[in-house]
Amino acid sequence: MASAVVTAPPQSRPRKLTNFWRDGDQISHLVTLLFAASVLLVTVFLVYELWIHSGPSRAKFGFSFLTGKTWDPVAEQFGALPFIYGTVLTSFIALAISVPLGVGAAIFLAELAPPKLSNACTFFVELLAAVPSVILGLLAIFTLVPIMRQYVEPFLKDTLGYLPWFQGPAYGVGYLTAGIALAIMTFPFVISISREALLAVPPEQREAALALGATKWESTWQVVVPFARLGIIGSIFLALARALGETMAVTMVIGNDTSIHTSLLAPGYTIAAIIANEFTEATGDVYLSALVELGLVLFALTMVLNAAAQLLIIATTRKGSRQD
């Protein structure tokens, strides 16, 4: 922007030195442009490579790849449905836990907590987001899985066992455990972005609600939260995109079973997990390209979600600044 406002004064007579520096400007413009353009190129190239390398699988299965239920490398029959199901189910479990928890915490941090406490808690939560997923997976294997197997899953079976979602043996690993691990990885996103959105709500909104006799909760829930809703929804989309693409922690606790189960306690598979587990062992063109095609499906899913999240977040920040 600055460049448009400030222009060099017109030169009355050409001088060598200034000419050289002006050429230098053009060179640096060009060089930085090339690097910026390479980001575009790399991304386009990424999609192209995924498309090309998934060719044999796309040619053989077509769209039935997305609905096929068998995954049989020996017979070279590949269907993605169990993995799409597992990915969507674990992400859904993760959001069912992390959204109420995260939005609740964001409300407390934005509306009630004194700024120092709020900043400290946000700091802890954001540090949690920096913990590598393989380390959370390590913890999940050795702490979460035994707890699930010995206490949580038997308890769920005893109390809710008549529901189809809580049946079968308690392995400890499975959809539910993976969903909980994902919840821990996603709530930092929900909290930090929702908190920003809530903090961006003009104080007049709160004051007006309180002046009309609303309680603190009523002003928060009926005025402040609806005002910031686009930002909160954006944070949920980002969390969902992260949950869908998350690999390591899920791979370590999902249980690796290539069939579809209704029970949340059963072991399953996600798209990212099967790629991580089978890619280096895959033999044959069709097998490999089926795995690449799974990657393409995952890419498409997260791309759509990310785009939606970006638009929502942009919409809220624009709205916020206009209100100011």
Q: Minimum CB separation from other proteins for residue 3, in Å?
A: 7
Site for other proteins in 19-78 (CB under 8 A): 21-22, 24-25, 27-29, 31-33, 35-40, 42-43, 45-46, 49-50, 52-53
Site for other proteins in 247-306 (CB under 8 A): 247-248, 251-252, 272, 275-276, 279-280, 291-292, 295, 298-299, 302-303, 305-306
Give the residue with the Cβ less far from other proteins, 89 or 292: 292
Binding mask 88-127 for other proteins (x = CB under 8 A): ------------xxx-xx-xxx-xxx-------x-xxx-x
CA within 13 Å, CB half, 161:
10
Size, binding site for other proteins by CB under 8 A: 94
- Say if CB 189 and CB 129 are below 8 A apart: yes
Residue 101 burial (10 A CB sphere; 0-12, 13-18, 19+): middle
Give the residue with the Cβ less far from other proteins, 184 or 201: 184
The whole-angstrom distance between residue 128's C-alpha and the CA centroid of its chain comes to: 15
Among 197, 228, 222, smallest CA distance to 208 is for: 222
Site for other proteins in 122-141 (CB under 8 A): 123-125, 127-128, 130-139, 141
* d(C-alpha 89, C-alpha 253), whole Å: 14
Cα-Cα end-to-end distance for the chain: 23
- Say if CB 84 and CB 271 are below 8 A apart: yes
Binding residue (CB under 8 A) for other proteins from 187, 227, 269, 287? 187
Give the residue with the Cβ less far from other proteins, 188 or 263: 188
Residue type, 117: L
Q: Does 211 sit near other proteins (CB under 8 A)?
A: no
Binding residue (CB under 8 A) for other proteins from 156, 191, 197, 201? 191
Give the residue with the Cβ less far from other proteins, 98 or 258: 98
The helix (run of H) or strand (run of E) holding residue 50 is: helix 16-53
Q: Minimum CB separation from other proteins for residue 290, in Å?
A: 12
- Say if CB 265 and CB 153 are below 8 A apart: yes
